[in-house]
Structure formats: structure tokens, C-alpha cells
């Protein structure tokens, strides 16, 4: 049996509360990098859209220049065909020359129609690109603000963590070495890290199992350390909470 005073039980409860707050704040700090990375990943989506639109504009412009070169080439060929037409001597050659010129004009007209459509596509995609860049800038400003808020929150959490660590050390120094060792051992064995829990109405609030009536009666005397028979946590009578506040 480990003898313990009511004051020591109160200190253990205070220590547990500080440990819980420490864990909560440490977890918040651990999430900072992931939260910032999530914001950056969201921004990358906007960058991907911009890059896609820029590639589309570049491809359309290249296609337009290629057609422009074809129109110029067809014009030169048509000019040469007209010069040859003036020098032909037979009707057959003349008709052949006319057909060649007509084919070139038909081809040129078709290419020019494609060029007009291409210009419309370029204008449309450039509009989408402007919108995408505008959205990116707006999102970037929003994410910058959110990052600043996260980092500010992280700074406040670090200060709170430092304060909690000092409080924990101060409370821990008021607990006997034997009791502190038991607390740490039990804490390491519990998945939720809760080493000490109250008993309310003869029910352990850690595992929600009833404790034996005799143990419940002894617990209310607050003169010895009791462990829950089911979850093996340190247990205390609910009135200890009132004195720890």
C-alpha cells in the first residue's frame, strides 16, 4: 500500500490536467507544417491551371504561325502560276494553270478560315488565362493571410506550451518521487496517456467499470493510492476535483 495525502492527490490531478493541455498544444504545433503544406498544395492547383492555359495559347499561336506561313507560300505559288499562265501556248496548259491557281485559292481560303477560328480560340483561352491569373493572385493573397494566422497561432501556442511546461515542472516538484514514478509508469501504459481518473458514483471514469464497494469506501478516505482493478489507472474520489480547482 502506498500512503498518500489528499494534497498529493490534488497535485496529481493538477499534473494530469497540465499533461493533457501539454499534449493538446504539442499536437497543434505538430500540425502546423501539414496545414501550411495543404495551403501550398491548394495554390499549386491554380498554378497548374495557369500553366495549362499558357501551353494552350502557345500551341494555338504556333499553329496560327504555321498556317500564316502556308498562306504566304500559297500566295507565292499562285503568283508564279499566274506568271506561267501568261507564257503558256496551248489551251490545255492554260486550263491546267487555271486549275492550279484555283486549287491554291481554295486551299488558302480554307486555311484563312482556320486562322480566323484559331484567333478566336486564342482570344478565348487568353481570357481564361487572365481569369486564372486573377484567381491565383486572389488565392495567393488569401493563403498568405491564412499562413500568417497559422504562424501567429503557432507562436502563441509555443508560448502557452512553455508556460504549461513551467507549471507542470512546478507541480511535479511538489509530488513525492515515489508517487511521481507511479504516475509516469501508469501514464506510459495507457493509450490516451491518462494516468489518473476520478471515480463518480463508484464508477471509474477511465474505463466506466464499477469498482468494489470496499475500495470505494476506502477511496473516500483519501489516505492511500488506489488503482482501478479494470483499467489499472490511479483513481481518486470525485471531491478531489473540487479542491484542485
User: For residue 226, what are the β-bridge partners?
Assistant: 235
How does pLDDT run across 174-203, given as a tens digit for each residue? 999 999 999 999 999 999 899 999 999 899
| Residue 45 neighbours by CB under 8 Å, 6+ apart | none
Sign of the dihedral defined by the CA atoms of residues 110, 115, 116, 122, in that order: positive
Cα dihedral across residues 199, 201, 203, 208: positive or negative: negative
Beginning with the edge strand found earlier in the chain, give each strand of the sheet holding 196-200 in spatial order.
203-204, 196-200, 234-237, 226-227
Q: Which three cell numbers stand for residue 55?
A: 501551353
What is the per-residue pLDDT for 217?
A: 92
Distances (CA, A) of 25 to 31, 51, 159, 169, 206: 10, 40, 10, 16, 22
Domains located in the chain, CATH noted: 6-26+176-244 (1.10.287.1490), 31-172 (1.10.287.1490)
Torsion angle defined by CA atoms of residues 92, 96, 101 and 102, in that order, rounded to the nearest 10 degrees: 100
Mean pLDDT, to the nearest integer, of 241-245? 57
What is the structure's pLDDT at 240? Answer: 64
Predicted pLDDT at 75: 85
Higher pLDDT, 42 or 186: 186
> Which residue has 486549275 as its cell numbers?
99
In whole angstroms, give the CA distance from residue 184 to residue 187.
5
What pTM was estimated for this model as a whole?
Answer: 0.65
User: CA 43 to CA 148: how far, in whole Å?
Assistant: 15
Alpha-carbon gap, residue 216 to 94, rounded angstroms: 120
Please state, in angstroms and rounded to a whole number, the distance separating the CA atoms of residues 73 and 64: 14
Amino acid at each position: 500500500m502506498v500512503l498518500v495525502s489528499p494534497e498529493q492527490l490534488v497535485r496529481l490531478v493538477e499534473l494530469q490536467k497540465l499533461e493533457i493541455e501539454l499534449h493538446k498544444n504539442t499536437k497543434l504545433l505538430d500540425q502546423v507544417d501539414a496545414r501550411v503544406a495543404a495551403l501550398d498544395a491548394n495554390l499549386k492547383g491554380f498554378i497548374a491551371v495557369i500553366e495549362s492555359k499558357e501551353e494552350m495559347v502557345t500551341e494555338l499561336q504556333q499553329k496560327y504561325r504555321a498556317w500564316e506561313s502556308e498562306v504566304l507560300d500559297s500566295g507565292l505559288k499562285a503568283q508564279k502560276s499566274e506568271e506561267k499562265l501568261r507564257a503558256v501556248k496551248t489551251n490545255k496548259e492554260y486550263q491546267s494553270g487555271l486549275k492550279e491557281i484555283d486549287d491554291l485559292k481554295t486551299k488558302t481560303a480554307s486555311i484563312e478560315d482556320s486562322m480566323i477560328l484559331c484567333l478566336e480560340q486564342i482570344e478565348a483561352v487568353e481570357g481564361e488565362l487572365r481569369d486564372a491569373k486573377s484567381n491565383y493572385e486572389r488565392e495567393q493573397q488569401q493563403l498568405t493571410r491564412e499562413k500568417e494566422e497559422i504562424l501567429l497561432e503557432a507562436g502563441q501556442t509555443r508560448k502557452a506550451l512553455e508556460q504549461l511546461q513551467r507549471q507542470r515542472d512546478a507541480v511535479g516538484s511538489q509530488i513525492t518521487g515515489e508517487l511521481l514514478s507511479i504516475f509516469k509508469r501508469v501514464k506510459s501504459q495507457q493509450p490516451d496517456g491518462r494516468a489518473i481518473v476520478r471515480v463518480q458514483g463508484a464508477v471509474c471514469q477511465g474505463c466506466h467499470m464499477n469498482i468494489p464497494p470496499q475500495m470505494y469506501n476506502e477511496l473516500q478516505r483519501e489516505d492511500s493510492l488506489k488503482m482501478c482493478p479494470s483499467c489499472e489507472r490511479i483513481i481518486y474520489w470525485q471531491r478531489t476535483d473540487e479542491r484542485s480547482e
